[in-house]
Amino acid sequence: MNRYKINEVFQSIQGEGALTGVPSIFVRIQGCPVGCPWCDTKHTWDINPDDERSADDVMAEQGESSHWFQSSFDELMALFAREGYTAKNVILTGGEPCMFDLTELSSQLIARGYGVSIETSGTFEVLTHPDTWVTVSPKVNMKGGYDILDSALARANEIKHPVAMERHVDELKALLTRLPEGAAPLIYLQPISQQARATELAIKHCIENNWRLSLQTHKFIGIE
């Protein structure tokens, strides 16, 4: 039986990308080795054994913390029930959720009637149920190398590229030339940390390239 290391579980509204507005239960997996300098979840990077807590302790915490708890699927379902969650979509994020094989977890969620989405950096192979909505937010200094990123991009339903500089747009264009024939993911630019200049840049390149704009809408309205 798989157990998952989880940083936080909460119910909110998907704030980003193609599924913006969809009520969702977020399951934030602990651990990410990628190290994006502007990452807004740096507290999920390390899996420190000293930071393990009970699920109840983690659920009682307010704000960001590097504490995590272990959970089986059944324990996670019991937690959803205890919390009274009503959303029918589950977003597996992190940290980097694809450090782990998510086939079993996603399949079990789908069997319970949930829609499942994954937020991933494309630095690990995406192992998940075929009906999962996969958002790849490519990280170009990837540790996995191009083979892994190419397979993640080929699986992506949407590519959501974080941008703050022209260079980031050039990197995306180079990546898109690598997509296999027939792959047609939705393409989004997401301004890094809501900076005004990054947003202007994203708008300009979305219009020029017929890409879509993804804003972190939850941050504008002050929800999780």
Ligand X SMILES: C[S@@+](CC[C@H](N)C(=O)[O-])C[C@H]1O[C@@H](n2cnc3c(N)ncnc32)[C@H](O)[C@@H]1O
Q: Residue numbers of the site for ligand SF4 (CB under 6 A)?
A: 32, 34-36, 39, 41, 94-96, 121, 139
Written as six digits, the tokens of 31 are: 């651990």
Instruction: Tell whether residue 93 is among the known ligand binding residues.
Output: yes
Task: Draw the binding track, 24-63, toward ligand X (x: CB under 6 A; -: no contact).
Answer: --------x-----xxxx----------------------
Query: Nearest-CA neighbor of 29 among 58, 64, 79, 69?
Result: 69
Decide: helix, strand or coil at residue 56. Answer: helix
Torsion over CA: 40, 46, 47, 48 (sign): negative
The verdict on 151 binding ligand 2KA (CB under 6 A) reads no
Out of 134, 137, 152, 168, the only residue in the binding site for ligand X (CB under 6 A) is: 137
Which of ligand 2KA, ligand X, ligand SF4, none sits in contact with 192, Cβ below 5 to 8 A by type?
Answer: ligand X
What's the helix, strand, coil split of the chain in %, to 5? 35, 25, 40
β-bridge pairing 23-29 and 3-13: antiparallel
**In the block, which residue shows the tokens 């996670």?**
76
CB 9 within 8 A of CB 25: yes
CA separation for the pair 126, 136 (Å, rounded): 9
**Stretch near ligand 2KA under the rule CB under 6 A, chosen from 7-15, 42-50, 103-111, 143-151:** 7-15
Smallest distance, Å, CB 79 to ligand X? 20
- Answer yes or no whether residue 8 interacts with ligand 2KA by CB under 6 A: no
Q: Which of 119, 191, 206, 211 binds ligand 2KA (CB under 6 A)?
A: 119
Q: How many residues does the chain have?
A: 224
* Residue 29: how many other CB atoms lie within 10 Å: 26
CA distance 220 to 216: 7
User: By CB under 6 A, which span of 61-69, 151-159, 190-198, 202-210 interacts with ligand X?
Assistant: 190-198
Q: CB 77 → ligand SF4: shortest distance, Å? A: 25
Residue 96 within binding range of ligand 2KA, rule CB under 6 A = no
User: Does 133 appear as a known binding residue?
Assistant: no
CB of 95 to ligand SF4, least distance (A): 6
User: Cβ contacts of residue 49 below 8 Å, gap of 6+?
Assistant: none
> Does the annotation flag 17 for ligand binding?
no
220 belongs to the binding site for ligand X (CB under 6 A):
no
Give residue 145's region: left, alpha or beta (phi > 0; psi -120 to 50): left
Site stretch for ligand X (CB under 6 A), options 90-98, 102-110, 150-158, 176-184: 90-98
Known binding residues are: 13-15, 28, 32, 36, 38-41, 93, 95, 137-139
